[in-house]
Structure 1
Amino acid sequence: MKLIGVSKKINNKLILENINLEANPGEIVGLVGPNGAGKTTTMKIMSGLIVNFEGEVQQKNNVGMLIDGPKFFPNKTARENLQYFASMVEDSYDFNFIEKIFDMTEYKKKKVKSFSLGMKQRLGMGLALINKSELLILDEPMNGLDPDGVKQTIKTLKMLAEKMKITIVISSHILDDLEKLCDRVYFIRNGEIVRHLDLKNESSLCFQFIFTENQQLDGKEILQQYRSFKELGPNTLIIEERDRKMAIRELVRQEIIPVEIRKYHESLTDAYFELADGQGGTR
C-alpha cells in the first residue's frame, strides 16, 4: 500500500498536505499524532471511504478496516455477525479461525449488545479480517482492551503480518504498544508527515556520550557539528551511528575523552514528545 502526494481539503480547509507513506506486505506501520492531526482522514483515504482527494493511492484489492469504532448488528451474536459479513464476499476465513485468534470463542453465541468495549473491538478486528484482507487498517483497535487483551492483540497482529504477510496500518495513542508492535512509524502533525521512524532498522541506532562536568562543554562543541546531534541531559549527548566514528576520532584528537559511550535507542515516546511538545493538531 502506498500514498503518493495525497492532499485533502474540507470546506476549503487543508486537512492533509502532500502525504507520502508506504506499507509493504508483512509490515506493521503505525500512524502517530495528536487528536485532529489527520490520522483518521489518512486511514479513510487508504480504505476507500474518502474518494475525493488529490494524489494517488496504490493498494491491495482486499482491504479490511476498523475505523471510527466497530460496526455490527447489536441484536445478533458474534458468530451471526461474522456469517453476515462473510456472505458479502466470495471467499472468507473459517469462523473458528477468526474467533480463536481474536479470543472470541467463549462469547461467540452472545448478542453483541451485551459486549464490553474490549469484546466489541475484538469482534471489529475479526470482521475486518473475515474477507481474507491483504491490508488491515485499524484505528485505535486496542481501545478498551485490558492488559491481557492488549498483549494477545499484539501477538495476533504480529502473527498475521509475519506468517500470513498481511499489511497492517494502525493508529494508537498508547505509544508503548505501538513500539512493541510496529516495524515503522509515521508522525503526523497538522496534516503533514513530519517524521518517519524505522523501529527495526539498526541504522537508526544512536550512541550516548557521557562526559564529566569539566569536559561537557568541550564535548558538546565537537558533537553539535553533526546533524544527528541531540542533548539528552547536562552531561549526556547523543549522535547517530553514521557519525560515531568521526566524532570519536575528533574527540580523541582534541584529548576530550568521554566517561562512557553506549548504545541508545530512541523510544517512540521520546520521539513523539520531541516533535509534539507544544504543537497541537489543528487538522
Structure 2
Amino acid sequence: MNDYVLRTNHLSKRYKNQFALDNIDLTIKKGSIYGFIGQNGAGKSTLIRVVTGLAYPTSGSIELFGKSSEQELIQARKRIGTIIEGPALYPQMTAAENLETHRLLKGIPGKDCVENMLALVGLQGAGKKKAKNFSLGMKQRLGLGIALLGDPEFLILDEPINGLDPMGVVEIRELLKKLNQEYGITILISSHILSELHLLATHYGIIHKGELLEQLTVKELNERCQQYIHVKVDHPDKAAAIFETKLGTTQYEVMPEGTIKLFDYLDAPGRVSKTLADEGLIIEQFMPMGEDLETYFSNRIGGVQHG
C-alpha cells in the first residue's frame, strides 16, 4: 500500500531564464493536511499547476498515488479535486444548479450527490439565491462542493481563505478539518495566512524563490519553535521538584528571574496547573508561549535572504 498521495523528484519548471521551481523533492502523506507556505511568487501556484496537469515541468517527475507514467498520471488526476485561482462558478445559477452543471461536465451519474454536497458544505439553505449574490465565504464553500464532486481522495486548494472575513475563515477551516478527519481526504493547502495554517495543518512545506527549503511535521515545528508553558509561582524551586516527582518530567528550565519554561505537557496544560495548585503553590502566571508559524517562517526566510 502506498503511503504517499504525492511525491515529486527533482521537479523543476523554468520560464525563460528563471526557475519558478528548482529541483523540488516534495512528499505528501496520505491522510495529512499539508500547509504549503511561501511568499507571492515563491512557486506555490506553479507547483500546483504542474501537479494538476495545467503546466508541464521542465525536468524531474511527479508521482500521484504511486503512479508516474504520463498515462497513469492522467488517470490519477481524476482522483483529485482542486480550487485554483478561485472557484469556477456560474454567477447566474444557484448553488444546486452550479453543482448539477459540474456533475454533468464530470460525467458523474445520479443526482443524489448534489443534495448531499449542498448539505456537506452548508449550502442547503441557499435556495434560489444566485451565486453572483453569494458572500465570499459562500462562494468558497460552493467551490469546495464542486471540487468534492466525484469523491476525490486528494484536495488541492490554492489560497482558499484569501479575502474571507473572520467568520468565513472559521467556516472553511472547520469544513476542511471535517473532510480530513471524517472522510479521510488528504489536503494540500497553499496560503499566506500562516496563523490560520497553524490551526489546521499536520505537515508543512516552506518554499522560497522556487526552492523547497524545508518540510516538517507539526510536532517538529513545535519543537523548533520552542513552544513552552510559561509558569510563575510563589516557590519556583518547589514547582521544579513537583514537575519531577509528580509529573515525571525534567523538560523544564528555571529562569534567573524565577519564572519557569516547561517544554512538556503542551497538550495537557490543565494537568500541570491542577497539580501545582493541589500541592499548595500560588500560580501567578501560566500561559503557552513560543514562536508561532509566522515568526518561524519569517526567520527562515530572513535567514535565506541574508545568508
Scaled to the shorter chain, the TM-score interval is 0.7 to 0.9
Aligned to 2:246: none
Aligned to 1:136: 155
1:184 is aligned, of 203, 210, 223, to 203
Structure 1 residues 278 and 261, CA gap change in structure 2 (3 angstroms): closer
Q: Counterpart of 2:125 in 1: which secondary structure?
A: helix
- Partners of 1:139 and 1:202 lie apart in 2 by 22
Aligned to 1:118: 137
- Partners of 2:13 and 2:119 lie apart in 1 by 39
Unpaired segments ≥5 residues, structure 2: 1-5, 66-75, 231-249, 264-288
Structure 1 residues 75 and 270, CA gap change in structure 2 (3 angstroms): same
1:24 counterpart = 2:29: yes
Aligned to 1:238: none
Structure 1 residues 13 and 202, CA gap change in structure 2 (3 angstroms): closer
Matched-pair identity in %: 35
How far is 1:96 from its partner?
Answer: 2.3
Aligned to 2:268: none
Aligned to 1:262: 262
Unpaired segments ≥5 residues, structure 1: 211-244
1:84 counterpart = 2:84: no
Give the letter for the 1:83 counterpart: E
Aligned to 1:232: none
Aligned to 2:297: 272
Q: Are the aligned partners of 1:26 and 1:164 in contact in 2 as well (CA < 8 Å)?
A: no
Q: Counterpart of 1:107 in 2: which secondary structure?
A: coil
Alignment TM-score, normalising by the size of structure 1: 0.75
1:74 counterpart = 2:91: yes
How far is 1:162 from its partner?
Answer: 1.6
1:2 counterpart = 2:7: yes
Equivalences for residues 89-238 of structure 1 within 5 A: 89-91=106-108, 94-200=113-219, 204=223, 206=226
- Partners of 2:203 and 2:21 lie apart in 1 by 20
The RMSD of aligned alpha carbons is 3.1
- Partners of 2:221 and 2:15 lie apart in 1 by 40
Give the letter for the 2:206 counterpart: F
How far is 1:112 from its partner?
Answer: 1.6
Q: Which deviations, in whole Å up to 9, do the C-alpha atoms of 1:62-114 show, x marking residues without a partner? A: 11111111112222221111111112335477222322232222225322222
- Partners of 1:190 and 1:114 lie apart in 2 by 38
1:53 is aligned, of 58, 64, 84, to 58
Alignment TM-score, normalising by the size of structure 2: 0.69
Q: Counterpart of 1:127 in 2: which secondary structure?
A: helix
- Partners of 2:44 and 2:97 lie apart in 1 by 31
**Paired residues, what number?**
241
Give the letter for the 2:195 counterpart: D
How far is 1:28 from its partner?
Answer: 0.5
How far is 1:12 from its partner?
Answer: 3.1
Q: Which has the higher contact order (CA 8 A, sep 6+)?
A: 1
Q: Counterpart of 1:133 in 2: which secondary structure?
A: coil
How far is 1:203 from its partner?
Answer: 8.1
How far is 1:148 from its partner?
Answer: 2.2
How far is 1:134 from its partner?
Answer: 1.1
How far is 1:17 from its partner?
Answer: 0.4
Bigger drift between 16-25 and 143-152 goes to: 143-152
- Partners of 1:268 and 1:128 lie apart in 2 by 28
Q: Are the aligned partners of 1:139 and 1:171 in contact in 2 as well (CA < 8 Å)?
A: yes
Q: Are the aligned partners of 1:136 and 1:168 in contact in 2 as well (CA < 8 Å)?
A: yes
Q: Are the aligned partners of 1:133 and 1:166 in contact in 2 as well (CA < 8 Å)?
A: yes
Q: Are the aligned partners of 1:188 and 1:195 in contact in 2 as well (CA < 8 Å)?
A: yes
- Partners of 2:103 and 2:137 lie apart in 1 by 22
Structure 1 residues 144 and 106, CA gap change in structure 2 (3 angstroms): farther
- Partners of 1:73 and 1:2 lie apart in 2 by 34
